[in-house]
């Protein structure tokens, strides 16, 4: 199988890309029935121009164009570190597990690639060990799952939960053992050197092609001010596939949602309800008073301290105000109730025999 020389040293990048897609070239020899399409060749040439001369390319290609190979071939031949972001994990897995191995064998150029997901997809060894060895009591199903995860954790090299096909997506204990930024304690972790996220970063930092999805791309951009939140390494070139999905994903991370409920909640926060003695609630007294509370009680001076349990003023404090509303502006007043409680104070009250 003919090998394509590394570029741009030697022949130009566009020439090398044309040679890969040409009839009888490496791709046609490696893939049965492969035939380059005009749109695919046009897009590959445009991508090669950006890698060679810089700039930004916005390309729209219909289904069946072969756009994945159209940007992968120039990216690999350029020998630059390239970040590729996809809208779905399906395409992400297709590129890493299918397209790149074919190109590695076809082009004859050694390169490395890393496949990155969000931190929540990876097992935190420290958190899992604490859960496994902790005193918490789990259900029979959870205990079986913990045992299976324990066995898998001793064999896995990536810690990606996708390797466990039998683990349900809604496994209730996974948020407690996932390597999310909320669970991470950074370099203080006793398993920091063995951490799957740390190893993922190291593999990505040493790779020529880094493959992520839009959710990880936006999440990483939103936490880059944190020392242990950043995951994606710096790359000179970035390719955003399925870019029409990027707007919705970016809105989730950088947008602000507004709703009637949020307005109501904010209003309750900034203006808590207050209890005022000058409210217009009607005050009813034993004298038949139906005056607004502001005239009946609110305008009177504050009463002396009053012992509600004993029904009389605190010793040495004088007489209480006859209207209990002066004590509690939200409570209807009743001077008759006050007089009745005073007549039957605990010190004078006698028990009735039956």
Q: What is the rounded distance in angstroms from the CA atom of residue 117 to the CA atom of residue 232?
A: 10
Residue 165, token pair as written in the block: 């096909």
Please give the average per-residue pLDDT across 156-162, as a whole number. Answer: 92
Instruction: Flag whether 280 is in a domain.
Output: no
Residue 219, token pair as written in the block: 């999440």
The reply to whether 88 and 72 lie within a common domain is: no
Query: 79 vs 156, 164, 209, CA distance in Å?
Result: 30, 34, 9
The reply to whether 30 and 168 lie within a common domain is: no
How confident is the model at residue 313, as a pLDDT? 57
Angle (CA) 34 36 40, round 5°:
130
List 237's β-bridge partners, or say none. Answer: 82
The reply to whether 108 and 90 lie within a common domain is: yes
How confident is the model at residue 130, as a pLDDT? 92
The reply to whether 28 and 109 lie within a common domain is: no
Instruction: Flag whether 211 is in a domain.
Output: yes
Mean pLDDT of the chain: 78
Strand order of the β-sheet with 82-86 is 113-115, 209-213, 82-86, 237-240
List 151's β-bridge partners, or say none. Answer: none
- 3 state SS of 254: helix
Q: What is the rounded distance in angstroms from the CA atom of residue 145 to the CA atom of residue 307?
A: 62
The reply to whether 42 and 104 lie within a common domain is: no
Please give the average per-residue pLDDT across 259-279, as a whole number. Answer: 70
List 123's β-bridge partners, or say none. Answer: 178
The reply to whether 106 and 143 lie within a common domain is: yes
Question: Which residue among 272, 294, 325 closes a domain?
Answer: 272
Instruction: Flag whether 210 is in a domain.
Output: yes
Number of domains in the chain: 2
Single pTM value for the model: 0.65
Strand 237-240, strand 82-86: pairing: parallel
Q: Which residues contact 288 (CB under 8 A, 6 or more apart)?
A: none
Ranges 160-169, 227-236, 316-325, most confident: 160-169
In angstroms, the first-to-last Cα distance of the chain is: 114
The reply to whether 98 and 183 lie within a common domain is: yes
Q: Which residues contact 17 (CB under 8 A, 6 or more apart)?
A: 44, 45, 48, 73, 74, 77
How confident is the model at residue 311, as a pLDDT? 57
CB 291 within 8 A of CB 236: no
Instruction: Flag whether 146 is in a domain.
Output: yes
Give the residue, 329 or 124, on which the prediction is more confident: 124
Question: Which residue among 221, 249, 272 closes a domain?
Answer: 272
The reply to whether 73 and 102 lie within a common domain is: no
Residue 234, token pair as written in the block: 């710096």
Give the residue, 100 or 184, on which the prediction is more confident: 100
**What is the gyration radius of the CA atoms in the chain, in angstroms?**
37
Domain extent for 33: 1-79
Q: What is the rounded distance in angstroms from the CA atom of residue 157 to the CA atom of residue 189?
A: 19
How confident is the model at residue 307, as a pLDDT? 60
Please give the average per-residue pLDDT across 236-258, as a whole number. Answer: 90
How confident is the model at residue 166, as a pLDDT? 87
Of all residues in the chain, what percent carry a pLDDT higher than 90?
Answer: 40
Instruction: Flag whether 137 is in a domain.
Output: yes
Question: Which residue among 272, 304, 326 closes a domain?
Answer: 272
Please give the average per-residue pLDDT across 296-322, as a whole number. Answer: 52
Instruction: Flag whether 336 is in a domain.
Output: no
The reply to whether 224 and 249 lie within a common domain is: yes
Please give the average per-residue pLDDT across 40-49, as a whole number. Answer: 93
Instruction: Flag whether 306 is in a domain.
Output: no
> Which of 23-27, 198-202, 312-316, 328-332 is the least confident region?
328-332
Residue 337, token pair as written in the block: 């109730």
The reply to whether 67 and 203 lie within a common domain is: no
Q: Note the pLDDT tens digit of each residue in 81-125.
A: 999 999 988 899 999 999 999 999 998 889 999 999 888 999 999
Query: 158 vs 22, 38, 98, 162, 344, CA distance in Å?
Result: 38, 40, 18, 10, 80
Q: Is the pLDDT of residue 333 over 50?
A: no
The reply to whether 69 and 90 lie within a common domain is: no
Q: Is the pLDDT of residue 243 over 60?
A: yes
The reply to whether 168 and 199 lie within a common domain is: yes
How confident is the model at residue 8, as a pLDDT? 42
Q: What is the rounded distance in angstroms from the CA atom of residue 320 to the CA atom of residue 307?
A: 9
- For 109, list phi and psi in degrees, rounded to 5: -115, 120
Q: Is the pLDDT of residue 78 over 80?
A: yes
Instruction: Flag whether 322 is in a domain.
Output: no
DSSP state letters, 30-50: HSTT----HHHHHHHHHHHHH
How confident is the model at residue 247, as a pLDDT? 92
């Amino acid at each position: 199988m003919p090998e394509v020389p590394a570029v741009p040293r030697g022949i130009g990048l566009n020439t090398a890309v044309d040679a890969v897609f040409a009839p009888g070239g490496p791709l046609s020899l490696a893939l049965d029935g492969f035939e380059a399409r005009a749109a695919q060749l046009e897009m590959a040439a445009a991508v090669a121009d950006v890698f060679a001369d810089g700039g930004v390319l916005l390309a729209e290609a219909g289904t069946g164009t072969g756009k994945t190979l159209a940007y992968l071939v120039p990216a690999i031949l350029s020998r630059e570190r390239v970040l590729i972001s996809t809208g779905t994990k399906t395409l992400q897995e297709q590129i890493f597990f299918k397209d790149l191995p074919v190109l590695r064998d076809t082009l004859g150029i050694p390169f490395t690639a890393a496949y990155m997901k969000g931190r929540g997809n990876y097992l935190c060894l420290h958190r899992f060990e604490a859960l496994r060895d902790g005193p918490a009591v789990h259900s029979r199903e959870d205990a079986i799952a913990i045992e299976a995860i324990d066995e898998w954790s001793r064999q896995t090299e990536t810690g990606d939960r996708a390797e466990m096909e039998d683990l349900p997506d809604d496994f209730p204990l996974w948020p407690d053992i996932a390597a999310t930024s909320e669970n991470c304690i950074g370099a203080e972790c006793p398993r920091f050197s063995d951490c799957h996220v740390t190893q993922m970063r190291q593999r990505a930092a040493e790779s020529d092609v880094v493959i992520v999805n839009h959710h990880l791309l936006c999440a990483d951009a939103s936490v880059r001010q944190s020392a242990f939140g950043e995951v994606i390494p710096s790359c000179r070139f970035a390719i955003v596939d399925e870019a029409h999905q990027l707007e919705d994903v970016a809105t989730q991370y950088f947008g602000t949602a507004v709703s009637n409920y949020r307005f109501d909640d904010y209003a309750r926060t900034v203006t808590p309800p207050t209890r005022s003695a000058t409210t217009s609630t009607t005050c009813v007294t034993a004298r038949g008073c139906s005056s607004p509370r502001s005239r009946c009680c609110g305008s009177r001076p504050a009463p002396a301290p009053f012992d509600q349990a004993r029904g009389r003023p605190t010793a040495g404090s004088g007489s209480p105000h006859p209207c209990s509303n002066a004590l509690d502006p939200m409570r209807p007043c009743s001077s008759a109730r006050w007089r009745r409680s005073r007549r039957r104070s605990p010190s004078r009250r006698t028990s009735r025999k039956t």
